Amino acid sequence: MNNLEQINIKPVEIVDCLKKEVSLKDIYKKILYQRIIERTARERGITVTPEEIQAESDRFRAENRLEKAADTLAWLEDSMISPEEWEAGIRDRLLAKKLSQALFEKEAEKSFIENRVDFERILLYQIIVPYEKVARELFYQIEEQEISFYEAARLYDIDERRRLRCGYEGKILRSTLKPDIAAIVTRGNVGEVTGPIQSEQGYHLFLVEEFIPAELTPERRQSLIAKLFKEWLEKEVIYFIHNQGEQPDSTKNDGIIRPD
């Protein structure tokens, strides 16, 4: 038995701790999320089979090197949950995923198309220096091929990490750049230095090595589904609270609204 389980901790102490940690509201919301998921899945005939739970538990065990049953039982004991409670948690997560896909798979594709430009990526290099005069001098030296952009970044950038990477920032989503910087960077051509641009950090020079078109990958699709699902759940919780009184009560009708 887990040693912690031998300590007599009362439920009121747990609630008091959650309040002190300002975490109680998050727990309430998670409980409401699950009620909403359960009811909506039931209305749509969405279920999770024992085979799906088994497959997911096998995947988790393999991923966490819990090949032996004894290893899994030891992990469960250390986590203070029973095998039945673990399987119930797996079932809840699979149900939420199934429901999210049923509700928002088509909406995710629509959202991607409408916001395609935000998912374009840029293979970007950057130099930031503290003074405009230095930035302009570097710009002209790079243009005249007196020094390469990468060498200038290694020698003059204010950030040690970027100096070590010769200015390499990586494959950046266009949406993560500030609008004014994104506009200037995307107007330039591949291999062309742009700037200097002033910000609170200093004066920036940019070099684009590649513009990468937006692509609806399986990972991005799932990310969009998860985002839309979370937004929907938030709206459902607000509706629930406004129509059910001050405190959630499992004996009351859920009163859940549905997406079109």
Q: Give the pLDDT confidence score for residue 147 in this predicted structure.
A: 95
Q: Give the pLDDT confidence score for residue 39 in this predicted structure.
A: 93
* Dist. CA 141–CA 148, nearest whole Å: 8
Q: Give the pLDDT confidence score for residue 94 in this predicted structure.
A: 97
Q: What is the DSSP string of the chain?
A: --GGGGS---HHHHHHHHHHTT-HHHHHHHHHHHHHHHHHHHHHT----HHHHHHHHHHHHHHTT--SHHHHHHHHHHTT--HHHHHHHHHHHHHHHHHHHHHHHHHHHHHHHHTGGGG-EEEEEEEEES-HHHHHHHHHHHHTTSS-HHHHHHHH-S-HHHHHTTTEEEEEEGGGS-HHHHHHHHHSPTT-EEEEEEETTEEEEEEEEEEE-----HHHHHHHHHHHHHHHHHHHHHHHHHHH-SS--TTS--------
Q: Give the pLDDT confidence score for residue 2 in this predicted structure.
A: 60
Set out the domains of the chain in order of their start, with CATH numbers.
3-104 (no CATH), 121-212 (3.10.50.40)
The structure's pTM equals 0.71
Q: Give the pLDDT confidence score for residue 247 in this predicted structure.
A: 40
- Give me the half-sphere count of Cα atoms (radius 13 Å) on the Cβ side of residue 68: 3
Q: Give the pLDDT confidence score for residue 6 in this predicted structure.
A: 64
| Partners of 154 in beta bridges | none
- pLDDT by residue, tens only, the chain of 260 residues: 566 666 778 889 888 998 998 889 899 899 999 999 999 999 999 999 999 999 999 999 999 999 899 999 999 999 999 999 999 999 999 999 999 999 999 999 999 999 898 889 999 999 999 999 999 999 999 999 999 999 999 999 999 999 999 999 999 998 888 888 888 888 888 999 998 999 999 999 999 999 999 999 999 999 999 999 999 999 998 888 787 644 444 334 444 444 44
Q: Give the pLDDT confidence score for residue 178 in this predicted structure.
A: 87
